[in-house]
């Protein structure tokens, strides 16, 4: 699975890139058919608590894509939340495929 990381209003460092690749890469264990993952990390302009956003868009066969967007105090926390949301969507998608 190809993982594309985009950042808005900042530049990611190597540590954050590795964290995102590791977390999103684990989604392959839940579903083999993932074509690619596009992760967008954003910083909201007002410097306040919870101003980090992680969006994950997974391209999957037939259905098109799955999407999750989460906001938290850190990119790591937001990415964890988004990966959990995508994992739930993948589980539902797999069940749907089995029932067809």
Q: pLDDT tens digits, residue range 81-97?
A: 999 999 999 999 889 88
**Which CATH number covers residue 26?**
3.30.160.100
Count of domains for the chain: 1
In degrees, to the nearest 5, what angle opens at C-alpha 10 toward C-alphas 71 and 37?
A: 60
Helices (H), the chain: 14-25, 75-98
Query: What average pLDDT does the chain have?
Result: 92
In a domain, 68, yes or no: yes
Q: How confident is the model at residue 63 (pLDDT cuts 50, 70, 90)?
A: low
Q: Is residue 11 part of a domain?
A: yes
Assigned domain for 100 exists: no
In a domain, 16, yes or no: yes
Question: 42 lies in which domain range?
Answer: 2-95
């Amino acid at each position: 699975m190809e993982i594309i990381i985009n950042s808005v209003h900042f530049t990611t460092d190597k540590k954050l890139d590795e964290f995102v690749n590791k977390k999103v890469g684990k989604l392959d264990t839940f579903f083999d058919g993932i074509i690619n993952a596009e992760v967008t990390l954003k910083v909201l302009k007002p410097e306040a608590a919870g101003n980090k956003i992680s969006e994950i868009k997974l391209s999957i066969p037939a259905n098109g894509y799955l999407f999750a967007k989460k906001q938290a105090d850190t990119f790591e926390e937001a990415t964890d939340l988004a990966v959990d949301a995508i994992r739930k969507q993948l589980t539902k998608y797999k069940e749907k495929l089995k029932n067809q």
